[in-house]
Structures are given as structure tokens and as C-alpha cells.
């Protein structure tokens, strides 16, 4: 019996293969599915044993059925142990999430914005490589380095989303990112930061910032948010000298706060899948 395994599906304008995060999320679903499937099949075996007549043929069939289920349970047990070991190994590499963790643990807002300016081009290059060759052909050290970098940003992405509740702070973050990526001067940076503050004030009023994201049925919310962010990106870009503008740069920064998306589905056969992606403009896999 095959266990459920995580895989990546890339939605429009999406998406980074967050291998470390995907493994942790996917393994959690795998373990739950194995447990649930085991319980259901145990109940089925008991029910079949009670309902079958006591004739010789039926007894032989019942014994064979129980033996088969026992073998499958043993196989699932082995898969479960292997999954738990893998999850334990990966979890040691994921930055710990501490309740009420303070934002300054990542450095100042300005510093975190500058770090995002280095992370985003690195992610874009990696996605380009994924488009042009099979991931198995990428150098192991390169894939390892990118995975570590993305895993290091797991908590930071959550922090960026929290910053959206404060227009002045999120404006400072994005202004630092854009200035670092585009090489803008101080005057341009000030204009951009002021506009960012106005944009996120409006987004908060419209309840389109990360703290307002609904727990369920998020597609409509994302459609409204993405439309608003695209319009905001155009206004912000108009403040940047034409010689310094680069396609997708502003949008990639603005999408970060709620860009990490995941979806879990369970098929009729009991197999589960986990979709995890970082939805940013210009990083799609066409």
C-alpha cells in the first residue's frame, strides 16, 4: 500500500518549491492519513469477521483477509517510522517558533527588508533553473543552500505579514527592500515609503492585509488583495525613475506578507496531497 506523498502544484503567477516546508507539512498529513486509514481498516476487518459464516471456505477467506491486512499494517508501520524519522531530521533545521516571539529577533525592520532584497533575487534565479532543467540535475550543494535559505525565511514571512497591520512599519520594510534591490537614492526612497504607508493604510481599511486573511475560503480574498496590490505596485513604480525600474520588483515585495500559501486535499482513495507555494509575480512556472 502506497502512502500519501506531498507534491507541488504551481498556481498562476506562483511559486516556489519550498522543499523543507513542504516536507514538514506533507509528513504531518501523511502521519494523520496513515493513522486514520489504519483505524478504518481495522474496524472493517472486525466487521467482516463478525458477519462471515463459520463455514470452512469462509473461515479460510477470513484468515487470508486478516493475514493480508496484517501485512499491509506492517508495511504502513514501517512507512510511518521512516516518515517520523525524516520529519524529526527536518524539524531540527527549521527555525523554532516561539510564542509571542518579538520581531526584533530577526533584526530591525530595515535590516529584514534589506535581507529580503537578497533573498528574492536568489529565489528568482533558483526558479529559473527549475524551469530549465530537472531538479535532480541541479548541483546538490546549490539545492541545499537554497532550501536552507527558504527555510530560514519561514518565520520571517510570518513576521512580514504581521507588519502589515502597521502601515508605517510595513512601509519601512518594503522601502528598504526596494531601495536595496533598485539602488534608489534617499529622495526616491522617501517618496516610495510615504506612498507605501498610504497604500497599506487603505489596504487595512479594505481588510486586505495579512491579519484580515480568512481562515477558510481564501480565494475571493486573495483575488481582491492581488488586484489591489497590482494597482498599488503601479502607483509606487511611477515614483521610481524609469532607468531604475525593473519588472515585477515592486510586486514581489508587496506580495510577500501573504504570499506563502498551502492547501491540503484528501482523495477518495484516502491519499493526501499538500500544495505549498510562495505566490509572487514573475516567479511562475509556465
- Whether residues 115 and 171 share a domain: the answer is yes
- Whether residues 81 and 29 share a domain: the answer is yes
- Whether residues 75 and 130 share a domain: the answer is no
CB 167 within 8 A of CB 201: yes
Residue 219 lies inside a defined structural domain of this protein: yes
CB 31 within 8 A of CB 279: no
Ranges assigned E (strand) in the chain: 260-266, 272-278
pTM: 0.62
Q: Containing domain of residue 42, as a range?
A: 19-91
- Whether residues 187 and 274 share a domain: the answer is yes
**Tens-of-pLDDT digits for all 286 residues of the chain?**
433 333 333 333 333 344 444 444 444 444 455 555 555 555 555 555 544 445 555 566 666 767 777 777 777 677 667 666 665 565 555 444 433 344 444 568 999 999 999 989 888 887 777 666 655 556 667 667 766 766 777 778 889 999 999 999 999 999 999 999 999 999 999 999 999 999 999 999 999 999 999 988 899 999 999 999 999 999 999 999 999 999 999 999 999 999 988 766 677 777 766 666 788 998 753 3
Residue 191 lies inside a defined structural domain of this protein: yes
Domain count, the chain: 2
- Whether residues 151 and 207 share a domain: the answer is yes
Residue 128 lies inside a defined structural domain of this protein: yes
Residue 4 lies inside a defined structural domain of this protein: no
- Whether residues 51 and 168 share a domain: the answer is no
CB atoms within 10 A of CB 212: 15
- Domain edge (last residue) among 91, 125, 152: 91
Amino acid at each position: 500500500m502506497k502512502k500519501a506523498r506531498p507534491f507541488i502544484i504551481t498556481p498562476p503567477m506562483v511559486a516556489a518549491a519550498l522543499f523543507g516546508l513542504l516536507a514538514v507539512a506533507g509528513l504531518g498529513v501523511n502521519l494523520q492519513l496513515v493513522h486514520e486509514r489504519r483505524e478504518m481498516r481495522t474496524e472493517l476487518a472486525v466487521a467482516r469477521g463478525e458477519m462471515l459464516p463459520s463455514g470452512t471456505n469462509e473461515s479460510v477467506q477470513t484468515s487470508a483477509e486478516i493475514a493480508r491486512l496484517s501485512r499491509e499494517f506492517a508495511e504502513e508501520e514501517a512507512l510511518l517510522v521512516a516518515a517520523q524519522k525524516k520529519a524529526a531530521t527536518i524539524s531540527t533545521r527549521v527555525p523554532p517558533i516561539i510564542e509571542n516571539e518579538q520581531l526584533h529577533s530577526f533584526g530591525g525592520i530595515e535590516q529584514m527588508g534589506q535581507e529580503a532584497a537578497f533573498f528574492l533575487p536568489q529565489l528568482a534565479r533558483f526558479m529559473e533553473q527549475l524551469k530549465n532543467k530537472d531538479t535532480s540535475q541541479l548541483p546538490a550543494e546549490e539545492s541545499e543552500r537554497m532550501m536552507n535559505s527558504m527555510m530560514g525565511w519561514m518565520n520571517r514571512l510570518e513576521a512580514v505579514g504581521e507588519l502589515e497591520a502597521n502601515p508605517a512599519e510595513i512601509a519601512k520594510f518594503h522601502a528598504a527592500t526596494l531601495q536595496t534591490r533598485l539602488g534608489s537614492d534617499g529622495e526616491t526612497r522617501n517618496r516610495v515609503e510615504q506612498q507605501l504607508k498610504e497604500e497599506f493604510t487603505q489596504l487595512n481599511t479594505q481588510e486586505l492585509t495579512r491579519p484580515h486573511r480568512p481562515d477558510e475560503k481564501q480565494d475571493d480574498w486573495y483575488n481582491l488583495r492581488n488586484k489591489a496590490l497590482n494597482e498599488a505596485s503601479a502607483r509606487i513604480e511611477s515614483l521610481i525613475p524609469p532607468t531604475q525600474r525593473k519588472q515585477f520588483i515592486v510586486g514581489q515585495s508587496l506580495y510577500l506578507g501573504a504570499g506563502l500559501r498551502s492547501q491540503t486535499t484528501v482523495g477518495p482513495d484516502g491519499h493526501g496531497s499538500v500544495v505549498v507555494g510562495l505566490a509572487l509575480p514573475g516567479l511562475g512556472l509556465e
